[in-house]
Chains A and B, each alone.
Chain A
Amino acid sequence: MTDGSLLIGNHLEWQREMAAGREPAVELEGLARNFGRRWALRGITLRIRPGEAVALVGRNGSGKTTLLRVLATLLRPSRGRARVAGLDVVSQAAGVRELVGLMGHSPGVYDDLTAAENLRFALRMLGRPVEEAHVAAALEAVGLGAEAGVRVRGFSAGMRRRLALARLRLQRPRVLLLDEPYASFDAEGVALLNDYVRETVGRGGVAIVATHDLARAEEVVGRIVTLEGGRLASDEMAGEPGVVTAGGGRLAARAGLPQEPQPT
């Protein structure tokens, strides 16, 4: 319980800054992270304001996942600093975890528990009261209402992702960290996810979407940050004339992404 007593204060501070819209919600300063001899991030400096949804694009190995994991306090930076709502991800990690919610490559659900049990477990881990109405509503919202009592072992990959989205909906994080979130989702699942991104950003939160599927992310993001070899290659507003086409045209050329229109 390193900084737990500060959490209420941190939330209030966050809300004040959000209202003002001046202070960055996420701030990276010369952020670097190595794995042995390989540097996954090489001095990233970036500021994201409250209410922004940002797409993080780049080739495989460009550092997108590492950046999200640092913000989620799952990895410590090797150099530089990362702050969420002014809280340092290393020295105030517990406070940061109160604010961020991560949906990674894997859904992070338990096969031998039912869908509802997975959500009840999440609520208890979040330190919140387990209210069945909330659990049922979260499952309904992602189209899993009928599967509440079914063990996850029998779920498809897309259903597991929906369950992970239901967990995020219960958590209501201020900073949404999504790593390849469109994988395994059908069109309805993509719409549900994008709606939740809009909802988070609409209440003054932040969403960072690391993806190769820019066409889907473009529906919700207002800014596109490109990483290349662990460095910041570009930072542009989405939809600016000539900046990003529907399929990620100019950006794709810069980030080394496929230039054909992406499937929707």
Chain B
Amino acid sequence: MSRLRIELGRIGAIAWKDLTAERRARANFNAVLSFAALVLVLFGFALGPDAEALRAAAAGILWLAVLFSGILAFHRSYQVELENGALDVLLGYPGDRRAIFIGKLVANLVFVLVVEALLVPLAAVLYGLPLLRAAPELMGVFLLATFGFVTLGTFYGAMASRVRAREVLLPLLLFPILIPLLIGAITATATLLVGDPMGEAGAWVRLLVIFDIVFFIACVLAFEHVIEE
């Protein structure tokens, strides 16, 4: 087998292992989804019954719900490695340790996208969002923003897994660096939901693409250093 094929096999093995464990345990997925739904409902109550105000704030609330719930997923991603000392075994396998990062990224991406697939229709019902107005464009924005979010979440999750106060440290590290991505995602989503009469969404999408490329490369290159003890 060629070296590349072996590394791709390792990436696939890690993604398969994480998703299989997640599918069987279920507890994490149910908790994350319930938490995200609760955030949507509570923000709805906080904003009051004004339908216009709810629609205007919907994109921001939706992305905050994804952000908060994603943190729980990133914790879990490394928690399974810390149980039974599996992280040492994982790091002891031959080959490129960056495969561990990319495999976990793939698993987390699938996890967060599934949560979003259930959360977005719920938000559409609660906030009266016209999703079908620009469904393909919205899907593109969600894919791009989620990729950037999950890339950084998986990276900082690895960094936080090595310290005791990991539950507190992860959001403290992650949230500030996500601000440009969050602004881009919220603005592009809100613009598309109102029909994008000025064609503004394109600029924000370009920002998301650049963010994704830069941080994916940086995280892949730096991963081996942050996962070492």
Contacts and interface: CB of A to CB of B under 8 A. Distances in A.
Contact of B95 (A76, A94, A102, A122): A94
B24 A97 contact: no
Contacts of A129: 1
A1 B6 CA distance: 11
Contact of B89 (A7, A75, A102, A112): A102
Interface string B187-198: 000000000000
A259 interface: no
A60 interface: no
Interface in B78-95: 80, 83-86, 88-95
B17 interface: yes
B94 A108 contact: no
Contacts of B132: none
Q: How large is the interface on B (under 10, 10 to 19, 20 to 34, 35 or more residues)?
A: 20 to 34
A109 interface: yes
A1, A2, A73 pick with most chain B CB within 10 angstroms? A1
B14, B21, B83, B85 pick with most chain A CB within 10 angstroms? B85
Interface string A48-81: 0000000000000000000001001111100000
A110 B17 CA distance: 9
B12 interface: yes
A98 B94 contact: yes
A37 interface: no
Contacts of A125: 10, 13-14, 90, 93, 95
22 contacts: A1-B96, A4-B95, A4-B96, A7-B94, A69-B88, A97-B93, A98-B94, A102-B92, A104-B88, A106-B85, A108-B85, A108-B90, A109-B84, A111-B84, A113-B21, A124-B9, A124-B10, A124-B13, A125-B90, A127-B6, A127-B9, A151-B24
B3 A1 contact: yes
